Structure 1
Amino acid sequence: MKTVTIYGSMRFSDEMKRIAFLLESSFGFNVLQCTYNESGLALTQQMLQRLENAHLRKIDLSDFVYIVDVDHYIGDSVRLEIDYAREKCKPVLYHSDFPDNLNSLS
């Protein structure tokens, strides 16, 4: 079973959750998702640093990363995560490359 970390702008959180479900249920991937702050809690600098460290560790544990780039949008934080994944020689897949379905992943 391959492990994948899914990233994208939080404005696409519903889409990321849907894709994570499909990656696990349809393809058998183990999906590590980014952390959602849906309740809008105030974040301290320490909390932000912990989240960043956790995101990078998830990349370390992954076989590849999957970027949810709706309308090809990639924010600054996701760009940093992509750069980190590439530094670690992790393949980076973009949702925009699978516009009709995810079947080419299997």
Structure 2
Amino acid sequence: MEHQRAPQAAPREAKVITLCGSTTFEAEFTEVNRRLTLEGCAVISVGMFSLPDLPDYDWTVDSSALKARLGAVHLQKIRMADEVYVVDPGGYVGESTRREIAYAESLGKPVRYLSREQDLSH
């Protein structure tokens, strides 16, 4: 008679968390990403913290679809997430982040805030 192994439970799927917030908070994004990853989460972050220096391109008068395309990519990252985590040191939430939060909430995604967690730790 052959020895049969009991079926093993499938490993728990990691919670997917998309980070949102102002890209001026690069250090905070890095720290939150590290912490959530160590907690076993699959973290999706912003693609870049500063706009690339493109020859002959003025970001201040962006009339092309590039900014819109970058924004659409981030909305897709929100759709892919189980939860959204707002990196908002001191409670700062800019206009584009407010739109992303509203979008996440419209999809029924839970939204957590760094500033509220920091408040609880003091």
Larger Rg, first or second structure (1 or 2): 2
Which residue does 2:48 correspond to in 1? 36
Structure 2: which amino acid aligns with 1:36?
M
**Alpha-carbon distance, 1:35 to partner:** 2.0
Conservation of the 8 A alpha-carbon contact between 1:2 and 1:30: yes
Aligned to 2:26: 13
Secondary structure of residue in 1 paired with 2:24:
helix
What SS is found at the alignment partner of 2:93? Answer: coil
Can you list the C-alpha shifts for 1:76-96, whole angstroms capped at 9, x where unaligned? 010000000000000000001
Note if 1:79 corresponds to 2:98: yes
TM-score, with normalisation over the residues of structure 1?
A: 0.85
Aligned to 2:34, what secondary structure does the other structure show? helix
Structure 1 equivalent of residue 37 of structure 2? 24
Farther-moved stretch of structure 1 (12-21 vs 84-93): 12-21
**Equivalents in 2 of 1:83, 1:19: separation in Å?**
21
3-state DSSP class of the match of 1:85?
helix
In the alignment, structure 2 segments of 5+ residues that lack a partner are 1-13
CA RMSD of aligned residues (A): 1.7
Structure 1 unpaired stretches of 5+: 102-106
Higher helix share: 1
Q: Does 1:63 align with 2:82?
A: yes
- Give aligned-pair identity as a percent: 33
Residues 86 and 113, structure 2, Cα contact 8 Å, conserved in 1: yes
Number of residue-to-residue matches in the alignment: 100
